[in-house]
Amino acid sequence: MKQALLVIDVQNEYFTGKLPVTYPENSLENIKKAMDHAQASGIPVAVIRHTNPAPDAPTFRKGTPGWELHDEIRSRHADIELEKHLPGSFTGTALAGWLKENGITTVTIAGYMTQMCCDTTARQAFHRGYAVNFLSDATGTLSISNTAGSIDAADLHRAVLITQQMRFSRVMTTGEWIRGA
């Protein structure tokens, strides 16, 4: 099993922008731990950044402070940085080719948001034949309210983790992943 860590959308928009991630509280600390472990263990790291291509986009507009990677992510090693325009990290990016070139068979998911880009990327990876680890405490989300209803961040996060564990991913904590559990 050769694995890669996918660090998805750890951008300022989720910290100082319009979409502040609130759950779990320690998700950024665990993302940093996962990146540091990957670097120390020779596990390749792909850092993926979302860009909204609309020129008047209210979030993730290229070149804005919210679009920038969080300083803690920028300061860490990445083997490749990719830009995406849709929730799935495989769609319209070089991710699939990079994973194939590096002989990767397992991807580990960390980043934001649990129910959107992390969930979509995990499902895409599973559909492409990869084994998937989904880090329960190194992914995160916020409470959502729209015309379909409302859900708090903890319930939304838990619902996605339960669904991922049903079929698509092996859900684990960052500590379990680091220990090779």
The gap between the terminal CA atoms of the chain, to the nearest Å, is 14
Alpha-carbon distance values, 90 to 18, 44, 99, 117 (Å): 25, 16, 10, 10
- pLDDT (tens digit per residue) in 91-106: 999 999 999 999 999 9
Give yes or no for residue 112 having a pLDDT over 70.
yes
Alpha-carbon distance values, 75 to 11, 78, 131 (Å): 13, 9, 28
What integer pLDDT is reported at residue 169 of this predicted model? Answer: 98
Please say if 117 is a catalytic residue: yes
Give yes or no for residue 1 having a pLDDT over 90.
no
The helix (run of H) or strand (run of E) holding residue 134 is strand 131-140
- pLDDT (tens digit per residue) in 151-179: 999 999 999 999 999 999 999 999 999 99
What's the DSSP call for residue 51?
-
Residue 161: CB partners within 8 Å, gap ≥ 6? 114, 134, 136, 171
List, in order of start, the domains of the chain with CATH numbers: 3-179 (3.40.50.850)
Q: Please pick, among 9, 33, 118, 119, the residue that the annotation labels catalytic.
A: 9
Please say if 119 is a catalytic residue: no
- pLDDT (tens digit per residue) in 6-38: 999 999 999 999 999 999 999 999 999 999 999
Q: Please pick, among 84, 118, 119, 137, the residue that the annotation labels catalytic.
A: 84
Q: Please pick, among 32, 33, 117, 118, the residue that the annotation labels catalytic.
A: 117
Please say if 84 is a catalytic residue: yes
Q: Which pTM value belongs to this model?
A: 0.97
- What is the rounded average pLDDT of the residues 44-72? 97
What integer pLDDT is reported at residue 181 of this predicted model? Answer: 60
